[in-house]
Structure 1
Amino acid sequence: MAAISPGEAPLSEEESRRQLRRAVVASTIGTTIEWYDFFLYSIVTGLIFAKLYFPESNPLVGTLQAFLIYAVGFVARPVGAAIFGHYGDRIGRKATLIVTLLLMGIATFAVAFVPTYATIGIWGAVILTVLRFIQGVGVGGEWGGSVLMSMEWARTNGHRGFVASWPQFGVPAGLFLANLAVLAMSQISGSGFATWGWRVPFFLSIVLVAIGLYIRLNILETPIFARLLAEHKIEKTPILEVIRRQPKDIVLSAFARMAEQAPFYIYTAFVFTYGVRNLGATRDLLLTAVLAAAVLEFFTIPLFGHVSDLIGRRKMYLIGAVCAGIFGFIYFGMVDTKSSLWIFVAIMLSLVPHAMLYGPQAAFIAESFTGRMRYSGASLGYQLASVIAGGPAPLIATALFAYYQSGYAVACYVLACAALSLISASLMGDHTNQDISREYDEARAMGDDGHARPAT
C-alpha cells in the first residue's frame, strides 16, 4: 500500500519499496543504538557498579542495590510507552522516534560523567537512578514506533512477521556491540577498567546516536498513519481509548512476554554476577559467550519471524514458550558443571528460545491493536512486561540463589514465567496474514464482501 498524505499523490510501487527498505534500516539501526545504550548499563551493573557506587555494602547487598537502580529503567518503560504512545498515535511514528532516540542517547552519554561514591558519596547513585529512569522512558517509547515504522510499510500481509522482526534484530545487535565495547575496555591492565575504562563505551554512544538521527530524519511517515491522518481518524486520547476498548489485549500482551523477558535478563545480566562469583568463570569468558549468543540471534530472530508468517504467529509463540520453560533447567545444568566449555555453550544457546518468542512477538502484539491506537496499545502492553518480568528478573534470581544456593531455583522461576506466557498467548487473537490497514471496529461492522452486516 502506498503512503498517501493529505494533499499528496500516492507513491509509486518503486518508491514504496524504497521507503520500506529505508524504514526497516532506520528502525533496525535505531533500535540497535538504543539497546546498545540499555544493555551497556546492564552489563556494567553486574560487573562493577556495586563496587563503585555501594562500596560500604557487603557484596550481595551491594549487588542487589545496583540491580535496584537497574530495575528503575524497567519501571520507567511503561511511562515512556504512555507518553510516546500518545504522541505516536497523535502526530506520527517518525517524529516520536526521533525524540526517543535523543532522550535515550543523551542520558546514556551522561552516565560516562557520573562521579563515584568516593567522590560525591551516595549522590552518585542518585544521579545514576535519574539517568536510568530517563533511559527507560526513551526505550519505552522506542519499541512501538520502530516496529510500526517497519510493519506498516510492509507491502503484503504475508510478510509482516518477517518485516516486523527486523527492529527486534536491534536487541542482539545492541547486545553484541555493548558486550564488545566492555570486552575491549576490560583488556586495560591494572585498575584502569574500574577507574575510567568502563566510561568509554558510554561516551562513544553519542557517535551512534548521531548516525541514527541522520537516518531517521530521512524517512517518510507510514502509509497507515498517513491514511488515518487524511481520513481524520486520529484519536484525541489514544492511551485512554485503548485502555477502554482493548484492556484484555494490553494485559495479555504483557503476560505473554514473561517467558521472553525474564530469562533474557537472567541470561544476559544476572549471569555476570552468578558466573564470576559462583562458577569461578572469568569476565572475558562470560562476555565472549554473550557475544556468541547475540551473533546467533542475528539469524534466529528473522528466521522465527518468517516462520510465524508460515505457521501463524500464535503457534510459533506457543512453541517458543514451551522451549523457554524447559531450557532453564538445561542451562543451569550446563553452567553448574563449572566447565568453561559447557558455560560457553549454555550461554551461547540461551537466546535461541528467546528468539523463538522475540522473532514473531513484534507482529503478534502490534497486530492485536487497531491502527489508530496501535502505537499506544502495543507499547503499553509490551512495556508493562518490563515491570513484572524484565526489571525484577535479576533481583529475583539473585534472591532465589541466595536463599536456595541452587541455580535450579532460578530455573523454576523461568518455568513459571513460561507457563504464564503459554496461557496468555493462547488467549490472544491471531491476525497473521490478515488486513491491518482497516480499523478493526470498522472491519467487524462489515461483511467479508465489504458490505455492512445487517443489524441483529
Structure 2
Amino acid sequence: MAASQSGAMPLSDEEARRQLRRAVIASTIGTTIEWYDFFLYSIVTGLVFAKLYFPESNPIVGTLQAFLIYAVGFLARPVGAAIFGHYGDRIGRKATLIVTLLLMGLATFAVAFVPTYAAIGIWGAVVLTVLRFIQGVGVGGEWGGSVLMSMEWARTNAHRGFVASWPQFGVPAGLFLANLAVLAMSEIFGNAFFTWGWRVPFFLSIVLVAIGLYIRLNILETPIFAKLVAERRIEKTPMLEVLRRQPKDIFLSAFARMAEQAPFYIFTAFVFTYGVTTLGVSRNLLLTAVLVASVLEFGTIPLFGHLSDRIGRRRMYMIGAAAVGVFGFIYFAMVDTKNPTWIFAAIVLSLVPHAMMYGPQAALIAESFTGRLRYSGASLGYQLASVIAGGPAPLIATALFAYFHSGYAIAIYILACAVLSLVAASRLGDYTNKDISREYDDPRPIGDSGHATPSA
C-alpha cells in the first residue's frame, strides 16, 4: 500500500488507486497546458514573428532571428530544471508543479499583449525574448515533477513505463491544441490573423491555466517523497548532490534525447518555414497534418510506454532512435515531391518513431536517479537536451538548407542525432520492473520483484 502524507498510516488499496488516477490526470492535463503554451509560441514563430518583429530583414535572416528568440526558451529550460529540481526534491513534487504552471501560463498570456516592431521598434523583440525565457524556465521545472507525480504513485513496478508515459501524452495533446487554435484563428480571421488574430490563442491560455491549477491543488504528494520526508532523507542541496553522485546519468540522459528532440522540432516547427517558403504549400495544410500526427501520438505514446514494460525500456528506446535516423531521409524524399498528399503523409508518419522513444523516455530517464535526487537529476538530464538538441534544431536546419539547398543535408543531421542517442541510451541503466522506492545507495540490493517496497 502507499504511504499517507504523514508517513504514519497507509492508504487503502482503493484510495491508492484513486490517488494514482488523480495524479495521472493532473500530470497529463498540466503538461498539456504547458506544452500548449510552448508549442503555440513555436508555431507562431515560423508563421508570424519574423514578419512582425523583424520586418526590415530579408526572409531567411528574419526567420533565423525569430528562431533565435525561439531558441531562448530552450536555453532557459536547464535553468528551470536547476531551480525547480532543487525545490521538487526539497519541498515536494506537488507545490513545485503549481508554481511552474503559473509561471508558464502567465508568461504565455503576456505574449498576447506584446507590441510589434511597427509600434515600439526592436523593443518588441526584446520583450518577446524575456517572456520566452520565462516560458522556458517554467517548462524546465514542469516535466520532471509531472513524470514523478505519476510514476511515484504507480502501485507495481510492472506498469511504470505505461503510467509514466501519460505525462508525455501532454506533448501531442498540447501540440494538437496549439495547432488547432492557430488553424481556427487563421480560418476565422483570414488576413487579419497576421495583424492581431494570432494573439487570441495566447490570450485564451489563461483559461487553461485556471483549469490546471484547480486540478493540481487537489492531489496528494507522492508516496516516495512522503517516505523520504518521514525517514528524514531530504537532501539540503539536491542539485549539487546529483551532480556529484550521478553526473554520468545526467549527460547520458541529455544525449539520449538527441534523436527524439531535434527531429521533433524539425518535423513540427521548422516544417512551417520549409513548407510555406520553399515548397509553396499552404500553412493550413501543414497545420492540419501536424494536428493529425499529434492525434496519432495520443495512442502511440502510451502504447510504446506499455511495450517498454514488456521488452525493456532501453531496448524500446533504441529501436525508436534507429527508426528516426532512417526516417529522416524518407521524410525529405516525400515532402520534396511538393505533392500535398505525400507532404501530409510524411508529417503524420514523422511522429511514429518519435513516439517509440517518447513513450518509454520518461521512465527510462527518471528511473536512472535515486529517489531523493530524482526530480533534480531527471529534470536536468532531460532539459540539457534543449540546449544541444531542441533549441538549435530549427536554426541548424535553416542554416543547412540555406547552404546546401537540399533537405537531405537536414536528414544527415537527423541521422547524426540518432547515432548519438543510440550510443548514449546503450550506456544508461535499465530499471524496467525494478524497485525504485528504495534509495540506490542503500546497502540492500535493488529488488527485481514485480511489486514496489511498501512506502510506510
In the other structure, the counterpart of 1:385 is: 385
In the other structure, the counterpart of 2:452 is: none
Aligned-pair distance for 1:191? 3.0
Is residue 291 of structure 1 aligned with residue 294 of structure 2? no
Give, as a single letter, the amino acid of the residue that structure 2 aligns with 1:296: L
Aligned-pair distance for 1:188? 3.6
Structure 2 CA distance for partners of 1:158 and 1:52, relative to 1, 3 Å:
same
In the other structure, the counterpart of 1:374 is: 374
Alpha-carbon separation, structure 1, partners of 2:248 and 2:51: 43
Alpha-carbon separation, structure 1, partners of 2:20 and 2:349: 32
Correspondences of 1:30-429 after superposition (within 5 Å): 30-429=30-429
Alpha-carbon separation, structure 1, partners of 2:290 and 2:228: 42
Tell me, what secondary structure is at the counterpart of 1:291? helix
Aligned-pair distance for 1:9? 1.9
Whether contact under 8 Å (2:440, 2:446) holds in the other structure is no
Aligned-pair distance for 1:195? 1.2
Aligned-pair distance for 1:187? 1.2
TM-score, L = length of structure 1: 0.97
Tell me, what secondary structure is at the counterpart of 2:431? coil
Alpha-carbon separation, structure 1, partners of 2:30 and 2:85: 17
Give, as a single letter, the amino acid of the residue that structure 2 aligns with 1:153: W
Q: Higher mean Cα deviation, 189-198 or 244-253?
A: 189-198
Aligned-pair distance for 1:299? 0.4
Aligned-pair distance for 1:11? 0.7
Give, as a single letter, the amino acid of the residue that structure 2 aligns with 1:385: A
Tell me, what secondary structure is at the counterpart of 1:268? helix
Alpha-carbon separation, structure 2, partners of 1:204 and 1:446: 47
Aligned-pair distance for 1:368? 0.1
Whether contact under 8 Å (1:317, 1:425) holds in the other structure is yes
Count of residue correspondences: 449
Alpha-carbon separation, structure 2, partners of 1:6 and 1:32: 30
Whether contact under 8 Å (1:5, 1:229) holds in the other structure is no
Whether contact under 8 Å (2:434, 2:447) holds in the other structure is no
Gap regions ≥5 residues in structure 1: 450-456
In the other structure, the counterpart of 1:430 is: 430
Overall identity of the aligned pairs, in % = 84
In the other structure, the counterpart of 1:453 is: none
Whether contact under 8 Å (2:436, 2:446) holds in the other structure is no
Runs of 4+ with deviation above 4 angstroms: 443-449
Alpha-carbon separation, structure 2, partners of 1:439 and 1:173: 34
Tell me, what secondary structure is at the counterpart of 2:10? coil
Deviations 1:407-428 (A, max 9, x none): 0000000000000000000001
Give, as a single letter, the amino acid of the residue that structure 2 aligns with 1:219: I
TM-score, L = length of structure 2: 0.97
Structure 2 CA distance for partners of 1:246 and 1:338, relative to 1, 3 Å:
same
Tell me, what secondary structure is at the counterpart of 1:154? coil
Aligned-pair distance for 1:10? 1.3
Tell me, what secondary structure is at the counterpart of 1:442? coil
Aligned-pair distance for 1:3? 2.3
Aligned-pair distance for 1:6? 2.7
Give, as a single letter, the amino acid of the residue that structure 2 aligns with 1:249: D
Give, as a single letter, the amino acid of the residue that structure 1 aligns with 2:122: I
Alpha-carbon separation, structure 1, partners of 2:428 and 2:212: 34
Structure 2 CA distance for partners of 1:84 and 1:358, relative to 1, 3 Å:
same
Whether contact under 8 Å (1:331, 1:346) holds in the other structure is yes
